[in-house]
Structure 1
Amino acid sequence: MATQTEPQIVLYDLACTKNVCFSPAVWRIRLMLNYKRISYVTVFLEFPDIEPTLKGLGLAPSQSASGSKYTVPAIQHTPTNTYIMDSAAIAPFLESTYPDPAVPLTSELGSEIEAKARAVVGTAFRTSVMPREIGILSPRAQDYFRRTREAALGHRLEDLLGLGKEDSVWNAVDGDIRAVGELMRSRRAEGPFVLGARPSGTDFFIAGSIQAARVVDEGVFQRIIKYPGFEEVYEACQPYMEKKV
């Protein structure tokens, strides 16, 4: 656990007009930093500035199915001047560097929950959150976001919300979301988190996604929080959400 007065971490986050964190991937790391009480400062980047900024720091692009890319979160570990990009790489670095209190990053139950949540909640969030996300971006970032997302979608962002499509998507995955919520409650007798009494990487994945949706649109937040399991994990993680910038 960090005790120095100088920040141990510089966290590169995604900028929005509300001036708080709204990226689910960044929230996953922010929750971990807050839980471990690691001192950090945030540098917010507009969408068009992520690649040139991270390139300028000497980071190599990540490899994905769509090719090389730069993304947030990224961090600088100031004591060693180490730069790391992507939550999947940052989380184990933080866990090994700051092991107390421990955050189990993987578990059989957690892996199952995350995979199913990505498939079903991810579908609903893409429909509800993505077209509304543009509303909390600067004009410059809006242009970038619309151009890149609509190229991938093959249609306008607003089409995701048209003609009852949003309700249809949520109705189609309703039972599956409930099933994921029940999985999250498997160890409810032991504590409010997925694995019981203490949070894990899966709790931060779930709570971070919900908080990100809440920043974008309160209505989407209310829609997901009604499902048992999701509300309990979100509320249990509230103490680690106080630092949002």
Structure 2
Amino acid sequence: MEFKPIIFYDLAGRVNKCYSNNTWKIRLVLNYKAVPYEVVHTEYPDIKDLLISKGVKPNVIDEYTWFPFTLPAVTLPNGTTVQNSRAIVDELERLFPSPSMRLDNGYTERAIRLAHDLMMGLGADNCYRLYSRTYNPRTTTHFNNVYAPFFKVSSLSELAESPLVWDGAWASAQDALKKTKELLGEHPEGPFVEGTTFSYADCLIGGVWQWLRVPNPEMFQRVMSYDESFRKHQEALAPYLERDGS
């Protein structure tokens, strides 16, 4: 029987490169497992209708999930469409168990927390770069309407002169950067969270690196210079970052 590839739904942008930390989590898993997949690029305002049309139930809203319909999402070979990174990786582990993502290694939940905290700290700066450099016009408008109130501005363009960006964001991220350095330092033989063993925890941290790297190379380089372990970790992900667009 012919194997149907996974359909992987990623965010559209001005360049054919994945730039979302959330979709990178799953793209890294797919690339590491060498699972065949096809990419469908979707604009932000179209996500809800797309997923509803696929029969997807809304997310449960919690600290890490802010919206009922989000990417990443995948359509599995049996035709079922799944959203939410953890639900997707659980399905991929079930369907393609080798190589394992080592979800129960004790690092997954810590990496989820650190990725969240890094993004919250650096968020104002990176949201401005995404808004001004990355999105297509329809998504730019939608993104502004959603996130401008979060930063208490009428337009994300106002962040260009805001103390929240660059040094302000860097200061806000210091605790998360310190804890990420500590996490990567627990196995100093490196370069991965578990030393020489790759796991889903690396996808979570690596997703943040890529979220910075594509729209915001200036902050990406600043973060990489924070500690040698950060750059070694990013460089070790290279084989799984090669397929970064279609």
User: What's 1:10 paired with?
Assistant: 7
1:198 CA drift (Å): 1.8
1:223 maps onto 2:219 in alignment: no
1:67 CA drift (Å): 7.3
User: What's 2:121 paired with?
Assistant: 124
1:136 CA drift (Å): 1.3
- Superposed, 1:140-219 pairs within 5 Å as 140-155=138-153, 156-166=155-165, 167-174=167-174, 176-189=176-189, 191-219=190-218
1:60 CA drift (Å): 1.2
More helix, by proportion: 1
SS in 2 for 1:118: helix
SS in 2 for 1:133: helix
1:90 maps onto 2:74 in alignment: no
Contact 1:110–1:194 (Cα < 8 Å) also in 2: no
Matches of 2:115 and 2:58, distance apart in 1: 27
SS in 1 for 2:60: strand
Contact 1:17–1:137 (Cα < 8 Å) also in 2: yes
Give ranges in structure 1 of 5+ residues lacking alignment: none
Q: Assess, with a 3 A threshold, how the Cα gap between structure 1 residues 238 and 67 changes in structure 2: closer, same or farther.
A: closer
Structure 2 length-normalised TM: 0.89
User: What's 1:235 paired with?
Assistant: 235
Matches of 1:176 and 1:214, distance apart in 2: 18
Matches of 2:23 and 2:140, distance apart in 1: 19
SS in 2 for 1:69: coil
1:51 CA drift (Å): 0.8
User: What's 1:108 paired with?
Assistant: 106
Contact 1:14–1:44 (Cα < 8 Å) also in 2: yes
Question: Runs of 4 or more off by more than 6 Å in structure 1?
Answer: none
1:168 CA drift (Å): 2.7
SS in 2 for 1:169: helix
Q: Which amino acid aligns with 1:29?
A: I
1:130-159 deviations in whole A, cap 9, x for unaligned?
011112111111111111111333313234
Q: Which amino acid aligns with 1:83?
A: T
Matches of 2:53 and 2:162, distance apart in 1: 44
Q: Give the count of matched residue pairs.
A: 239
1:178 CA drift (Å): 2.9
1:73 CA drift (Å): 0.6
| Structure 1 vs Structure 2 CA RMSD | 2.1
Q: Assess, with a 3 A threshold, how the Cα gap between structure 1 residues 142 and 60 changes in structure 2: closer, same or farther.
A: same
1:19 maps onto 2:19 in alignment: no
1:37 maps onto 2:34 in alignment: yes
1:176 CA drift (Å): 4.6
1:188-211 deviations in whole A, cap 9, x for unaligned?
22x411012121111011112111
Give ranges in structure 2 of 5+ residues lacking alignment: none
Q: Assess, with a 3 A threshold, how the Cα gap between structure 1 residues 158 and 44 changes in structure 2: closer, same or farther.
A: same
SS in 1 for 2:164: helix
1:163 CA drift (Å): 4.7
1:182-241 deviations in whole A, cap 9, x for unaligned?
32121122x411012121111011112111211112112111111222212111111001
Contact 1:12–1:44 (Cα < 8 Å) also in 2: yes
Matches of 1:59 and 1:89, distance apart in 2: 12
Matches of 1:6 and 1:244, distance apart in 2: 23
1:50 CA drift (Å): 0.7
